[in-house]
């Protein structure tokens, strides 16, 4: 046996002591992290969305939105978006190792000193109620890469000089706050580091620095005192020739080094002559425009009175109870009238010109047309759907749209206005920034995805049921959606599910695609070939079937597919018939096995909606009550 060397013994003792100290230190540290999170939950989670945050669960593997370091078990990432959180972020100051903090789309009101989080790389705090001045401590976060403080109530100037000390900052999004002051000087920043930049909808003033001119106009709109490229307003010190209102779109052409110097008196003479000529032209134009505008308003008033008189005397006058005001124009290409009608809650515009002159961006193109996100001058944001389909088949288009415009429910995306002419139809809706249920269920299924928890899925199912039930019972008519899918369920600012595009396919009388996974079996031509009958028309029971498919998406996490072996409905029926019930549910729901009874109950509701015979399917008001009972059971 080899005798133990005293020196080695001393070194080994020191090593064991050090290891024990490190172990105790990390244990205490990550314990502080989880205690801070529980304190945070108790203060801000008024809706109890963080139900998985329990002392009985492992925080690093079971708590929603929490990611830990694999070795130290310290919290390094916290993602809690769209959870209706209210209050202060202060309890999170003990998460000193956090790298990624995302709390956007909540109702948080105050935050601690950023010095508490020296390792932060990504900060996403948009769409909250934060206020006060720009956090001055942010410039100490030397590892910071992404910073998003948009859609809050911040004010004051931004510390441009301090921000320039952040060597890795690539994203700075400050849009729709109340920041003021200038954007800094040209020489204070290296252009290469910034990838995303937006300060639109604030009160900035002065010249846009050259190092920011590479970003698009949308990054600066809404700051009426900003000037310089890429905006079309020239700064006073850069006025070229005699026209200060037109911006040269090429900054390199603002200087003319090769021009010959002219005599001062000759330049002054030309300037005076030009100003006089422009003044006379402007006077003539103003007088002409005033005469034209007065004549046009008189004509529109006469046309409006005629149209109103006609509608008051027609049988469809009962459909106009929600009409507030309209703007009626005559279509020059035909004898028909173009009508702009605004309903309850319509803000920021009353004429189609107000929509056309506002800044817009394309949201997407669908089978019926293109949708645009339009930012009005009053900072309200709406969605304008431009329908390109022919509308010849709709006999009472105006009356039908006014009927839909009167529907108001917290789970329905409201139609705020419409513009109708012979050639096109514009539909104006509320803008809901939180995306669709389809994207929340199926988007980004790879690494980094934030799973949709069971409580939220059940809440969305109930909200969609309420919206569809309100549509079916609206105005005592047999009205229906006609194309109900998970893509037509949008999430509003408060986390409520709202059905959109109501009756659009009914309005356009568009056929449903044969590969539509939401299509009720009675609409299939193949089902009626043996009886020589035409396919049945759309009905409310078709909506009920489509809603059942949406419930299967919520439960399985799978995309609704068309008929055949790949049909989601048939796959679920096969699995359930073999009593493999848990295999049906989305693997993201595995952590909620204590809620299996509620999941099975919702699956039974879905199967009731998916029966082959339309008359055997429940009404949506009954479906709503069944889901309401399931949610009450969950909250007990």
Mean pLDDT, range 148-154, rounded to an integer: 91
* Percentage, residues of the chain above pLDDT 70: 73
CA distance 63 to 256: 64
CA distance 359 to 222: 10
CA distance 131 to 155: 7
CA distance 48 to 161: 42
Query: Within its chain, how far is the Cα of 285 from the centroid?
Result: 43
pLDDT tens digits for 460-484? 999 999 999 999 988 777 788 888 9
pLDDT at 302: 55
pLDDT tens digits for 496-543? 999 998 887 777 766 666 567 888 888 875 444 443 333 457 889 999
pLDDT at 312: 46
pLDDT at 48: 83
Residue 309: is it exposed, middle or buried by C-beta count within 10 angstroms (0-12/13-18/19+)?
A: exposed
Higher pLDDT, 444 or 98: 98
CA distance 132 to 554: 40
Mean pLDDT, range 168-173, rounded to an integer: 88
Domains in the chain (CATH in brackets) are: 32-227 (3.80.10.10), 327-431 (3.30.200.20), 434-522+537-635 (1.10.510.10)
pTM more than 0.85: no
Higher pLDDT, 402 or 186: 402
Residue 322: is it exposed, middle or buried by C-beta count within 10 angstroms (0-12/13-18/19+)?
A: middle
Cis peptide before 244 (omega within 30 of 0): no
pLDDT tens digits for 425-466? 888 888 888 889 998 998 876 677 778 899 999 999 999 999
User: Per 3-state DSSP, what percentage of the chain is helix, strand, and coil (rounded to 5)?
Assistant: 40, 15, 45
Residues 136-169 as b/e (b if ≥16 CB within 10 A, e otherwise) read eebbbbeebbbbbbbbbebeeebbeeebbebeeb
Higher pLDDT, 589 or 391: 589
Residues 6+ apart with CB under 8 A from 408: 344, 345, 414
Q: Are 353 and 339 in contact (CB under 8 A)?
A: no
Mean pLDDT comparison of 212-216, 341-345, 540-544, highest-scoring range = 540-544
CA distance 231 to 218: 9
CA distance 548 to 155: 48
Residues 6+ apart with CB under 8 A from 365: 371
pLDDT at 459: 94
Total residue count of the chain as it appears in this document: 636
β-partners of residue 226 are 206
Quick check: helix, strand or coil at residue 403?
Answer: helix
pLDDT at 331 over 60: no
Strand 131-133 versus strand 153-157 pairing type: parallel
pLDDT at 581: 67
Mean pLDDT, range 283-308, rounded to an integer: 67
Strand 225-227 versus strand 203-207 pairing type: parallel
CA distance 197 to 193: 11
pLDDT at 216 over 90: no
Residues 80-94 as b/e (b if ≥16 CB within 10 A, e otherwise) read bbbbbbbbebebbbb
Please report which helix (H) or strand (E) contains residue 198, including its range. strand 196-198
Residue-averaged pLDDT of the chain:
76
pLDDT at 391: 52
pLDDT at 202: 92
């Amino acid at each position: 046996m080899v005798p133990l060397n005293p020196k080695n013994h001393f070194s080994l003792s020191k090593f064991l002591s050090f290891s024990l100290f490190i172990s105790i230190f990390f244990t205490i540290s990550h314990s502080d992290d989880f205690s801070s999170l529980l304190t945070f939950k108790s203060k801000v989670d008024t809706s109890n969305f963080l139900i998985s945050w329990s002392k009985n669960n492992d925080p690093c593997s079971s708590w929603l939105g929490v990611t830990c370091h694999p070795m130290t078990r310290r919290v390094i990432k916290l993602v809690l978006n769209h959870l209706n959180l209210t209050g202060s972020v202060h309890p999170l100051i003990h998460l000193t190792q956090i790298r990624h903090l995302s709390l956007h789309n909540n109702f948080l009101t105050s935050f601690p000193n950023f010095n508490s989080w020296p390792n932060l790389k990504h900060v996403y705090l948009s769409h909250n109620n934060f206020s006060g001045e720009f956090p001055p401590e942010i410039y100490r976060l030397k590892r910071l890469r992404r910073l998003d403080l948009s859609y809050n109530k911040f004010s004051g100037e931004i510390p441009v000089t301090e921000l320039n000390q952040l060597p890795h900052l690539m994203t700075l999004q400050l849009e729709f706050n109340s920041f003021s002051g200038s954007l800094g000087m040209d020489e204070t920043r290296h252009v290469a580091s910034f990838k995303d930049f937006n300060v639109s909808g604030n009160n900035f003033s002065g010249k846009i620095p050259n190092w920011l001119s590479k970003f698009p106009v949308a990054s600066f709109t809404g700051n009426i005192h900003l000037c310089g490229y890429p905006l079309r307003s020239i700064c006073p010190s850069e006025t070229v020739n005699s026209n200060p209102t037109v911006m040269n779109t090429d900054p390199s052409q603002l200087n003319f080094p090769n021009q010959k110097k002219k005599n001062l008196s000759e330049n002054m003479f030309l300037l005076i002559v030009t100003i006089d000529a422009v003044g006379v032209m402007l006077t003539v134009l103003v007088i002409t425009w005033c005469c034209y505008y007065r004549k046009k308003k008189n004509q529109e008033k006469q046309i409006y009175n005629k149209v109103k008189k006609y509608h008051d005397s027609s049988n469809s006058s009962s459909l106009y109870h929600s009409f507030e005001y309209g703007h009626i124009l005559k279509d020059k290409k035909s004898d028909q009238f173009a009508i702009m009608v605004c309903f309850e809650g319509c803000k920021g515009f009353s004429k189609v010109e107000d929509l056309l002159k506002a800044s817009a961006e394309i949201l997407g193109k669908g089978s019926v047309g293109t949708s645009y996100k339009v930012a009005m001058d009053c900072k309200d944001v709406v969605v304008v759907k431009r329908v390109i389909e022919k509308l010849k088949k709709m006999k009472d288009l105006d009356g039908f749209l006014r009927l839909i415009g009167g529907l108001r429910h917290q789970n329905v995306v409201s139609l705020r206005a419409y513009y109708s002419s012979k050639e096109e139809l514009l539909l104006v809706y509320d803008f809901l920034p939180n995306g669709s249920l389809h994207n929340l269920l199926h988007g980004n299924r790879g690494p980094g995805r934030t799973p949709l928890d069971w409580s939220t899925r059940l809440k969305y199912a109930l909200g969609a049921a309420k919206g569809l039930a309100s549509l079916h019972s609206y105005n005592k008519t047999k009205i229906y959606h006609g194309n109900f899918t998970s893509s037509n369920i949008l999430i509003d600012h408060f986390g409520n599910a709202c059905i959109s595009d109501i009756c659009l396919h009914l309005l356009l009388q568009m056929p449903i695609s044969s590969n539509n996974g939401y299509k009720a079996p009675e609409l299939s031509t193949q089902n009626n070939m043996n009886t020589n009958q035409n396919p049945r028309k759309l009905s409310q029971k078709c909506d009920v079937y489509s809603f059942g498919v949406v419930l299967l998406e919520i439960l399985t996490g799978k995309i609704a597919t068309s008929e055949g072996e790949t049909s989601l409905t048939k796959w679920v029926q096969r699995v359930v018939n073999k009593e493999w019930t848990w295999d049906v549910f989305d693997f993201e729901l595995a952590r909620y096995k204590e809620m299996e009874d509620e999941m099975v109950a919702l699956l039974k509701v879905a199967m009731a909606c998916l029966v082959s015979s339309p008359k055997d399917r429940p009404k949506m008001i009954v479906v709503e009550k069944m889901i309401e009972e399931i949610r009450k059971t969950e909250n007990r």
